Amino acid sequence: MAVTIKEVENIAKLAKLKFSIEETEKLQGDLNKILEYIDELNEVNLDDTEPMENINELVNVTRKDEIIKGLSQEEALKNAPEKTGNYFKVPKVIDK
């Protein structure tokens, strides 16, 4: 199955790309080489090959999910440079 110039132009149109005639011809050649390589891969005998879930043999290491005590409101506000009631006071960053 070979890619035609018209198909390359259609792909370029869908991708909202514009190519010169030379670039379109080069792209056609590149796409045809990719398809030839895929055809070669399809010829490989995989009858005795087990499917793999992951190419790495690494195991995801996670820590145990434990509930820990967080800061109280009083502790969180203790070192605040400015506060208003039970809230942090921060400078205004949005103009009207």
Say which CATH number the domain at 35 has: 1.10.20
Is 92 among the domain residues? no
Q: Which domain holds residue 24?
A: 5-42
Segment 7-58, tens digit of pLDDT: 999 999 999 999 999 999 999 999 999 999 999 988 999 888 888 877 787 7
> Contact at 8 Å (CB) between 89 and 83?
yes
Alpha-carbon 74 to chain mean position = 41
Is 69 among the domain residues? no
Give the Cα-Cα-Cα angle 74, 75, 76 (nearest 5 degrees).
90
pLDDT at position 95: 78
pLDDT at position 22: 96
Q: Count the domains in the chain.
A: 1
Give the Cα-Cα-Cα angle 91, 95, 96 (nearest 5 degrees).
130
Half-sphere exposure of 16 (CA within 13 A, CB side): 0
Per-residue pLDDT, averaged over 49-68, amounts to 84
Is 47 among the domain residues? no
Per-residue pLDDT, averaged over 89-93, amounts to 88
